[in-house]
Structures are given as structure tokens and as C-alpha cells.
Chains A and B, each alone.
Chain A
């Protein structure tokens, strides 16, 4: 019988106790994993292309429109390659509750600016050509069951046509995915021209423009040049990277990160106390046995290591099961919420941090009992009746 067997036997000598401790550790890591995955969903789109792409909005606020003529003027700025204007459409399907995130875009320039959107070549061509065409993201296919060839009346809660109608009839010509599963596909795009020509008010304006530059290193200079173009005009602009824009928008919902930190902190404080006190008690119960081991020639450091390993083993069993469950739960939640949030899951960083937590939990809960065990005195322990 080697030390590893002894550690395992000690841990499971009271099976129910070991199981209960495993459950409470498991739950802390399940909470950590699920919230970590959710947080990833909120910080999506802040990496990759979004770091390089610029976005120009009205300086008052991104909900206030800019004149369409700005498109040409921004295109003239040195270093600007692609300029893709877009407008909020505020779409819903049949009932106002069935919101469809939708933008009116100039398809050719928009797809050039967002190469991460993947189309079937024939569908892409059809979408760019067809005036009444719309392209929908994969997540909307799941949510509404639409398919290519369907004709849907999409209502707008913002806009009105000259005849008073609020519905635009759209042909679904294309379905898009994203290249690597990290960008949201929960929206619909329609042709700006088709949208604009029948508007009752607010014609020839847009809400934001996505800009791709020749050299991302020049982005600071280009942002300043663009904003300088429109300084002191009735519609001043504010140009930032898309990542900074997204982050500022998410921050407006409140400090979600702080709330998650509090919850995860509470979950870990709980198990630290439960596991910590139980381990101390479990080792105290074994005082006499430890004295016997010492009598048999086990050195104090060896006993110290064995108790520490016991705590680490417990922490890893609970932690790994919890993390596994969290990965499964995140997958399910991601599928269920594909209409609202981009796809999300546990990242490598989450997993590594969790493993770090398991080591820390094992060490913290193991050190005191291991220290106690190491200092057991044979004469005192065996002298007890």
C-alpha cells in the first residue's frame, strides 16, 4: 500500500461526508464556470477584426442620425478603404414582442467590411442584387424557422412608410454564419435603398458607419481626421474602434463584471469555510492513527504531504466535475439564448483560472489540518484514553 492509496482511503473512509463535500465544491465551480461563460458572451466581438474596424456615430449619441452625404466625405479621407453605412430598423415580426434585431445596410460595402460573415456564394450574390432581399443570421433561422425563399413582412417600431404602413415586405435570399463561431448571427440585414425610398420621415440618413482602413496603425490619425471634417457642423461625429464602441455600450447596462465577481466570491467563500472546517475535523478524528503511523516510522513531512494531497484530491474531484457540468450547461444556455446573445462557452482562460482555484482551494483547506497532523505527538495522542 503506497501513499496514494492511503490518501484515497482516508478521503473516502466516510463516504457520505466525502460525497457531500464534493457536491459543495462542485457547485461552486459550476457557478464559476457558468458565470464565466456568460461574461464571455457579453465581451464578445471585442477581439479580432473589431479591434481594427472603426465606427463613426453622431457625437450626441449613437441613436441620433447622420446625413447620408457623410459617406462620400469619409470615403475621401486618406487611408480609408471601405465605408459601410447602416441604420437601425427596429424590426419585429407579427407581434411587437417578437423583436428581430435588424439593420438597413448597403450590402456590397457592408459585406466587404465584415468578412467574418460567411455566405454561400450564390446566396451572397442574390442578396447583393435583389432590392427586396434580406439576409438573416443562423441564430434567427433557429429562432423563427425561416428559410431561403420565404417572404416575410417585417414591421418597424421606429419607421413609417409614406402610405402609413410600418411593414416592409422582405424576401429572404441568404443565410449567413460567422467564420469561427465567435461573432453573433442574431440579426437581419435589408437593403438601405429599399428601406430609404419609401420612408415617411428621416430619409437619407444613417445611424453608424463601419470603416475599414488600409493600415490599422493609422487608425488614431484617421479617427481624428474624420471627426475634424464635421467639427462645428450641426451633426458632429465621434469615431472609435468598434471594440471600444461595443465595450462602452455594454458598460451602460451596469457593472456586470462586478456583480459576477461578488457572486463567485460568495460561492467560494462558502466552500472555503465548509471544506476547511470539515478537513480540520476529519484530521482531528484521526489523531491516534497518525500517531500510530508516526510510530511505524512515517516522517512528519510525509504526513504533512499526505494530508495536503487529500485536500487537493478532494478539491480536484469536485472542481473538475463542476467545471464539466458548467461546460455542458453553458452549451445548453447558449443554444437557448441564441436569439439574444452571441454563442458562448468556457474559454481556455476560464478553465486555467478554475484549475488555479482548485489548487488554491486544496492548499488553503489542507494546510492547517496538515500542519496539525504533522505536529501530532505520539506520547500525547496514544496516551489519551
Chain B
């Protein structure tokens, strides 16, 4: 039985080139299905990686209760003072708490590729701000001077938007700024931002002494509870305390779900279309070998080997399609830079990421198409009557 099956299967696979037209169409149509699925998943996981990469467990972010997003939050100067003395916050080199009061406003910039205006985040941060971003490093130039209209610009901003080269003068609204440095936080969401001194933003945008958020380095990730309890018990503080990771996970969730919810149904619909194609191709394959299969029956082969052989053919074609689709998506899309509007109403630049996990899911979908598409034709192959030897 086993020998028979192997023999028929090999015979079958070797004859694929005789039906190369249909076989190629099957492979390519399945490749396209996988390509569409992986394209969407690469978008979702690239976006997730950018946003998740920004949040660390040992940085706490404090917003006004109910504000949900930085943009809507406001924290008064008095509240910031109270927080400076709160427990659970690590101390810097000079013994002062590692805390950064931040305020961001939205500014317009021209996108290089399309020449259209897009929102960018202009963030004013405190002295310790950069220290609270674990992978922060200056790529070019120097940091801004406190009190000066100077900017340091994220690497993604410089790549995607016009007019942010080192030394250039940038006009944002009525004010002129000088770009004095380019920074990177390892591809995280902060690379899509422009940074300057907190006091300058408060001043130029008439925000008084208020800020939007306070970030603080925790003595250890577990101390978020200590800080949260302290803030909860202090009636003068109406703040929500989150780790930065939780904050970003919450704000990225919607976009990621939206992309995945668009990708899967489309891929499944297309898979049904490709399934019809594979089914058809397998029927053609079985039809073409009617005499051959009947001859095998006549010389004593069972129906089961014919069934297995047809199934293997379908699965091999589908698997090839899956590989081609995954490979092509990886070559075409992996690392492609894109940007979209994030929860803070500002652009988040991210790179498409074709992950191994997604590629495996794509190939699995391809094999499912092969199994379903091959099943009925394979049964037909197993039930070809002996008399079909005389078929023309």
C-alpha cells in the first residue's frame, strides 16, 4: 500500500510540468492571496512594533483622569510639584527625581513623497526627558539649549518630511526655529516627533505654567503600584497613573485591530476565489490522467493511492504558492516606510514588518486552500472506473 502510494504520488508530481499552465495559475493565485494577507499583517505588526517599542515598563506616565490621550490631558504646576516628592520615583545623578513634565502641540509639516501637509508632534520636555527614553541617542548635532527656539528632530521626521536638515530654519506657525540636532530612539514612535524645551513651548503657545503629562522613571517596574496608590490617596491629585507600555498599548490597539480586521476578511474572500481555482486545476489534472489512473486500477493499484497522490499534488502546489506569496511580500514590503495618523492626532512613521509568525500563518492559509481545493477532485481520482481505460 505504502509503495503503491509513493509510486503514484511521484508519477503524479512528475507530470505537473505537462499541465504547467493550470498549475502555475494555481500557484500564483494562492501566492496573491497570501500576499494580500501578509501585506495587511505587515502593516499591523510594523505599526505595533513602533508604538510598543516606545513604551517601557519602568517609566510611569501620568495624565488627567479621563483624558485617555496626552493631547487632551492637562496637569497643573502644583500637581507637578506634588509628584516630584512622590514615592517610587528614581533619583538622577544629582539626587533630583527623574521626572519630565511634557507638553506637546501639533504642528504642520510637508511630507516629502506627496508634498501634502501633515500633523507632527512638537514636544516640549523637561531636563530629564531624553533620559526617560531608553534608546535615546543623538545621531547628529547637539541638544537644544533651554529657553532657545531650537529643535532636535526625530530620525523618521527628517526622513519623511521636508525642511528638517541640521542647521535649517523651520517656520512652525508664527515662530521660527533652528534645527540643532537629529535624534533616534531606535525606530519607536518618538522618532516621529520634534523636541524642544518645555518652557519655550509653554511660552510661544501661551500655555502658562501647565503641562499635559508627567513622565517619571520608576525605581523598579513593580513600584508603579506604590506610585499609583500614593496618587490615589492624595486628594489634590486627579491623575491616572500608567506604565508607558500600557499607555502605548492602549493607544495602538485601535489602529492595529482595524488593520487586521480589514486584512483577514479580504484574504479569506480571496482565498475562496483561489480555492475555486485550485479545485478547477485539480479536476483538470485528474481528468487529464483518467486513462493513466484507470490503467493503474487495472493492474491492481487501489483507489486510496490515487486519492493521496491527488491530495499531495494539490498541497504541493498550494504550499509553493504560499512560499512564493510570503517571499514576494517580504521582498516588496518588508521595511517599507509608511505613516498614519496616531491617537494623538499626529503622524506616526513606521516600517512594514513581515514577521515569521505572519509568514507561517500565510503558508497555513495556503495549505488549507490546497487541502479543500484538492479534496473533491482527489475523491474523483480514487473512484475512476476501470472501464475508463477506453476513454479518449
Question: Complex formed: what's the CA distance from A23 to B106 in Å?
Answer: 49
The total of Cβ contacts below 8 Å across the A-B interface reads: 147
Asked, given contacts A232-B174, A270-B273, whether A248 binds B72 with beta carbons under 8 Å apart, the answer is no
> Residues of A contacting B270 with CB < 8 Å?
27, 31, 266-267, 270
Of the candidate stretches B95-103, B123-131, B133-141, B339-347, the one touching chain A is B339-347
Tier of interface size on chain B: 35 or more
Q: Cβ of A252 and Cβ of B347 under 8 Å apart?
A: yes
Residue of A24, A28, A63, A263 touching B36 (CB-CB under 8 A): A263
Asked, given contacts A253-B340, A271-B273, A278-B22, whether A60 binds B118 with beta carbons under 8 Å apart, the answer is no
> Residues of B contacting A201 with CB < 8 Å?
74, 210
Asked, given contacts A64-B106, A270-B274, whether A17 binds B283 with beta carbons under 8 Å apart, the answer is yes
A228-263 CB mask vs B (1 if < 8 Å, else 0) is: 000011111000000000001001111100000011
> Residues of A contacting B339 with CB < 8 Å?
254
Q: Cβ of A63 and Cβ of B106 under 8 Å apart?
A: yes
> Residues of A contacting B173 with CB < 8 Å?
58-61, 64, 236
B258-289 CB mask vs A (1 if < 8 Å, else 0) is: 00000000100110111011011101100000
Interface centre among B22, B24, B280, by most chain A C-beta atoms within 10 angstroms, is B280
Check A90 for interface membership: any CB of B closer than 8 A.
yes
Interface residues in B318-345 (C-beta closer than 8 Å to A): 338-341, 345
* Chain A proximity of B280: nearest CB distance (Å): 5
Question: Complex formed: what's the CA distance from A262 to B69 in Å?
Answer: 33
Q: Cβ of B273 and Cβ of A24 under 8 Å apart?
A: yes
Q: Cβ of A23 and Cβ of B35 under 8 Å apart?
A: no
Q: Cβ of B33 and Cβ of A270 under 8 Å apart?
A: yes
Q: Cβ of A61 and Cβ of B174 under 8 Å apart?
A: no
Check A328 for interface membership: any CB of B closer than 8 A.
no
> Residues of A contacting B206 with CB < 8 Å?
234
What total of chain A residues lie within 8 Å of the partner, measured CB to CB?
Answer: 50
B19-32 CB mask vs A (1 if < 8 Å, else 0) is: 00110111011001
Interface residues in B3-60 (C-beta closer than 8 Å to A): 21-22, 24-26, 28-29, 32-33, 35-36, 39
Question: Complex formed: what's the CA distance from A267 to B28 in Å?
Answer: 11
* Chain A proximity of B111: nearest CB distance (Å): 9
Can you sample 21 A-B contacts with CB below 8 Å? A16-B283, A17-B280, A27-B276, A30-B269, A31-B266, A59-B108, A59-B174, A60-B105, A60-B173, A63-B106, A158-B72, A235-B174, A248-B116, A263-B266, A266-B35, A270-B28, A270-B274, A274-B26, A274-B281, A277-B24, A281-B22
Residues in chain B within 8 A of chain A (CB atoms): 21-22, 24-26, 28-29, 32-33, 35-36, 39, 64, 66-69, 71-72, 74, 105-108, 114, 116-119, 172-174, 205-206, 210, 238, 266, 269-270, 272-274, 276-277, 279-281, 283-284, 338-341, 345, 347
